[in-house]
Amino acid sequence: MKTCVIRAWDMTKPLLFCPAMNTVMWEHPITAEQIERLKGFGYTEIPCVVKRLVCGDEGRGAMAEVWTIVEKVKMTFSERDLPTQS
């Protein structure tokens, strides 16, 4: 489903993505390939973080904190002189 959204995306607009998965999935080589491919299209990764995951494991794969995502979105809009609302 996400790939359908990305294929339909207007590439003149910024796209930020926040990967989130368990550590085993994160460490799989396919994940690195997919992330590099998205970045190759000019999309911006907001990296995952290390913490306790939904599955109960502790490790890399948790989605970035909301405040981190919000700040990155605001910065991206500012850099591109896109309109924002308070």
Q: Which residue positions in the chain have pLDDT lower than 70?
A: 1-2, 85-86
Show which residues are catalytic.
55
Is residue 8 assigned to a domain? no
CATH number of the CATH domain containing 69: 3.40.50.1950
Is residue 85 assigned to a domain? no
Please give the pLDDT value at position 61: 94
Which tens digit of pLDDT belongs to each residue from 43-52? 999 999 999 9
Domain count across the chain: 1
Contact present, 39 and 65 (Cβ < 8 Å): no
Is residue 84 assigned to a domain? no
Using CA atoms, how far residue 18 sits from 61, 81, 83, in Å, is: 10, 22, 22
Ramachandran assignment for 50, one of left (phi > 0), alpha (psi -120 to 50 degrees), beta (any other) = beta
Is residue 10 assigned to a domain? no
Contact present, 6 and 38 (Cβ < 8 Å): yes
Is residue 4 assigned to a domain? no
- The domain in which residue 57 lies consists of 16-79
Is residue 22 assigned to a domain? yes
Cα-trace Rg, the chain? 14
